[in-house]
Amino acid sequence: MRIHIATDHAGLEFSTQLQHHLASQGHEVIDHGPVEYDPLDDYPAFCIRAAQAVVDDQRAGVAALGVVFGGSGNGEQIAANKVEGIRAALVWNLSTAELAREHNDANVIAIGARQHTFEDVTRFIDRFIQTPFSNDERHVRRIAQIGAYERDGALVDGPAPRTMS
């Protein structure tokens, strides 16, 4: 599988170690930066490029996922989710890694490098990569609703908002 990786200065060491880990498992790893430590770097461009590459590969029929890192992973997840077709999930344990793929067909995982050990991070990412999407009808339906809104702002009718007084 092709794995696209991006980070900022907070995740640079993890990113380098992870690239070796994933390559040793036979994955093709594409690094979208940064390539050197800069405590003032900005993660959005790195993460958006990685996310766009995941979408481009998937549309071309190439099996691909993405991994984005930062201090908390929050900003990196937000940046990746700005790319149409990306479902980036913030992961903090094995269960969230598995459910991100199984229920949400997430194609990018976001992790806080300052929140976890490298051993935990590799376990989360390995589980994320190994877990298939369930294809359960309710999950397919929900993902389609998100995609429709992303494309053209279409919302499925639901109950009207309520005001509590």
What pLDDT is stored for residue 115 in this prediction? 94
What pLDDT is stored for residue 52 in this prediction? 98
The tens digit of pLDDT for each residue in 28-66 reads 999 998 888 888 888 999 999 999 999 999 999 999 999
- The model's pTM is 0.92
What pLDDT is stored for residue 161 in this prediction? 80
Q: Are 20 and 50 in contact (CB under 8 A)?
A: no
Q: Which of 120, 127, 25 has the alpha carbon at shortest distance from 73?
A: 120
Q: Which of 102, 103, 139, 150 is catalytic?
A: 103
The tens digit of pLDDT for each residue in 89-139 reads 999 999 999 999 999 999 999 999 999 999 999 999 999 999 999 999 999
Tell me whether residue 103 is one of the annotated catalytic residues. Answer: yes
Q: Which range has the worst mean pLDDT, 57-61, 126-130, 148-152, 161-165?
A: 161-165
The span from the CA of 132 to the CA of 129, in Å, is 8
Q: Which of 4, 9, 32, 76 is catalytic?
A: 76
Average pLDDT, the chain: 94
Tell me whether residue 137 is one of the annotated catalytic residues. Answer: no
Cβ-in-10-Å burial (0-12, 13-18, 19+) of 117 comes to exposed
